[in-house]
Structure 1
Amino acid sequence: MAFTKGHGTGNDFVVIPDPEGQLDLSDDQVAALCDRRFGIGADGILRVVRSAQLAEGAAALAEEPAAEWFMDYRNADGSKAEMCGNGIRVFAKYLLDSGLTTLNAGSTLPVGTRAGVRDLTRSDSGFQVDLGRWRIEEADTLVRARGLSVPRPGQGIDVGNPHVVVALQSVDELESLDLTVLPQLDPVPPHGANIEFVVPGDPLVHDGVGSIRMRVFERGVGETLSCGTGVAAAALAVRHWAGPAAPDHWRVEVPGGTLGVRMFPTEEGEHVALSGPASLVFSGEIALAG
């Protein structure tokens, strides 16, 4: 089986070309490919498949007939995920470098996902993806994590997939977290959630741009160097806490680098966009175990 390894700010993926939808990877096969000691090693799998070749792609084509390609994203444990903000930039990079599509300056590339069609454009840092509408979850969530002396309240944010964002007091507190252990949520969301821990920049806003630092525990993966939708969720939560004077542009530092977040109005409501780099590291072939 052919594959390409790629990453977006250290959030890494195995990209598998399957244009005609002939592969049916089991959870165990996905986990084996993502294993960092016995496999290729990655936070997840990006299967590149034409939307017309799978049932989940029918909804994407109904929403946007130009969404030829569908990003079949699987977490490192094999579980399916709705969206991946870093992964979709790597997905676009693969499509372009492989000659499967084109994206001229000022044009838009629609990609099907389980969260709906997402539009990508080129940006100074690489690619920008419109993550669409978002919403605040009203229910309170209590978060317990190793390294925190007491449980902290978490803000639920949905950006196509579920997140819980926790505010911390200092960089020291952020760095002292032990995210080798799954943080506990109370109540537990029906489909789980990615959990982001954030601290504000000093100052929080500079030249009209907000600044925060973040670490993340990704559902079905563990701690990763970056989480694109988590970065957007963290910026949205901090803006919500900061009040109406908070900016709509944010700079978010994660262990793997820096990403940009922008909130902007549309006819259907406010959207949030994520921008950042995407890199393809190497390609090869691997024997797929049964």
Structure 2
Amino acid sequence: MRFTKMQGLGNDYVYVNCFEEKVARPSETAVRVSDRHFGIGADGLILIKPSEKADFEMEMYNADGSRGEMCGNGIRCVAKYVYDYGLTDQTHISIETLGGIKYLDLIVEEGRHRLEKLDMVSPVLEAEQIPIIGLGNRVLDEPIRVDDMEYRITGVSMGNPHGVVFLKDVKNLEIEKIGPLFEHHECFPNRVNTEFAHVLDRQTAEMRVWERGSGETLACGTGACAVAVACVLNGYTEEEVTVKLLGGELQIRWDREKDRVYMTGPAEVVFDGEWPEV
């Protein structure tokens, strides 16, 4: 199986061009290739496939083999791949995901992709659709008890479920301890990606993320979008926010008039290789 390892702000995945390759057992393959000691090392596996609804389809699997609906850093890498590897010459493309069809504008310099502006469409705030249970119809700064501690959480779906928790300090957070407790909390029937965020000023926030099925990652694009939306909903920032992640920065803008969220950020190829097919 030929593959390309790519990363967006350190959020890395193994990408397979399924126009040419076939992955018979993607869930099992995701677990094996993601292993950072005995595999390639990644946050998961992403298959680039033909689509009847869009220009391409992104089929995503987390490091534990579970299927993911959407990944902001992952989809930016898909866009870079299909352009740089010659699957398209268009700079405005659509990509089908389990979280809906996403639209990307590629910024190209000297024939090579540099950045993308991604239209994440509208955030979903209704608890039933995220889904979140037991915390009300809309989860906006609602109290939640985790490990005998009370936190306040804001629920957002960007095609996948997110819970944003604002804290005074995220740098010293014991995320390996608290992250799994949020992920598997009874309020989240499909588990949840949890963003622990700290607002720096009216234009800037920092975050760490515990991704369901992968643990802490260096970045999460949909999570950064969820943080920006939660910042605006809670009155902490303006509509355009620089979100600082462990792997770098993303520019997020929630156009409330159009109810669209836009994300701009980089994507990079790490290396190409071959893997014994499973």
Q: Which TM-score band (shorter chain)? A: 0.7 to 0.9
User: Does residue 263 in structure 1 map to residue 262 in structure 2?
Assistant: no
Q: Is the 8 A contact 1:50 1:69 kept in 2?
A: yes
Distance (whole Å) between structure 2 residues aligned to residue 123 and residue 144 of structure 1: 42
What is residue 65 of structure 2 aligned with on the other side?
Answer: 78
The RMSD of aligned alpha carbons is 2.0
The 2-side partners of 1:240 and 1:265 are apart by 10
**CA distance in structure 1 between the partners assigned to 2:145 and 2:221 by the alignment:** 21
Local SS of the residue matching 2:69: coil
Aligned to 1:176: 172
- Residue 119 of structure 1 pairs with residue 91 of structure 2: no
Deviation at 1:26, TM superposition (A): 4.2
Q: 220-229 vs 126-135, which deviates more?
A: 126-135
Q: Share of identical aligned residues, percent?
A: 35
Secondary structure at the aligned position of 2:80 is classed as helix
Moved more, 32-41 or 120-129: 120-129
Deviation at 1:21, TM superposition (A): 7.3
Partner deviation per Cα, 1:179-229 (whole Å, 9 max, x = no partner): 22334245431111100001111xx12xxxx10000000011000000000
Corresponding letter in the other structure for 2:265? G
Partner of 1:57: none
Does structure 2 conserve the Cα–Cα contact (< 8 Å) formed by 1:211 and 1:251?
Answer: yes
CA contact (8 A) 2:143 2:150 kept: no
| Corresponding residue number in structure 2 for 1:24 | 24
In structure 2, the partner of 1:64 is none
Q: Using the TM superposition, give the Cα deviation of residue 17 of structure 1 relative to its aligned residue in structure 2, in angstroms.
A: 1.0
Looking at structure 2, the residues matched to 188 and 150 of structure 1 have their Cα atoms a distance apart, in angstroms, of: 15
Number of residue pairs aligned between Structure 1 and Structure 2: 257
Unaligned 5+ runs, structure 1: 53-60, 62-66
Unaligned runs of 5+ in 2: 109-113, 128-137
| Alpha-carbon distance between aligned partners in 2 of 1:215 and 1:50, rounded to the nearest angstrom | 33
Alignment CA distance shift 1:92-1:143 (3 Å): farther
Is 1:280 the counterpart of 2:269 in the alignment? yes
Q: 1:109 pairs with 72, 93, 105, which one?
A: 93
Aligned to 2:15: 15
Distance 1:180 1:286 in 2: 30
Q: Matched residues in 2 for 1:23 and 1:226: separation?
A: 26
Report how far residue 23 of structure 1 moved: 2.2
Higher mean alpha-carbon deviation, 123-132 vs 73-82, is at 123-132
Normalised to the residue count of structure 1, the TM-score between the two structures is: 0.83
CA offset digits 1:158-189 (Å, max 9, x no partner): 111100000001xxx31111222334245431
**1:82-97 correspondence to structure 2 within 5 Å:** 82-97=69-84
- Alpha carbons 1:6, 1:280 under 8 Å: kept: yes
Partner residue, 2:50: 50
Q: Distance in 2 between matches of 1:23 and 1:112?
A: 18
The residue type paired with residue 25 of structure 1 is: R
Shift in CA distance, 167/265, structure 1 to aligned 2, threshold 3 Å:
closer
Q: 2:241 aligns with which of 232, 235, 250?
A: 250
Whether contact under 8 Å (2:241, 2:253) holds in the other structure is yes
The counterpart of 2:221, out of the listed 228, 241, 244, is 228
| Alpha-carbon distance in structure 2 between the residues aligned to 1:257 and 1:91 | 19
Q: Answer yes or no: is the 8 Å Cα contact 1:83–1:160 preserved in 2.
A: yes
CA contact (8 A) 2:241 2:252 kept: yes
Amino acid in the other structure paired with 2:274: E
Report if aligned partners of 1:5, 1:12 keep a CA contact under 8 Å in 2.
Answer: yes
CA distance in 2, matches of 1:3, 1:152: 41
Answer yes or no: is the 8 Å Cα contact 2:228–2:254 preserved in 1: no
Displacement of 1:128: 1.1
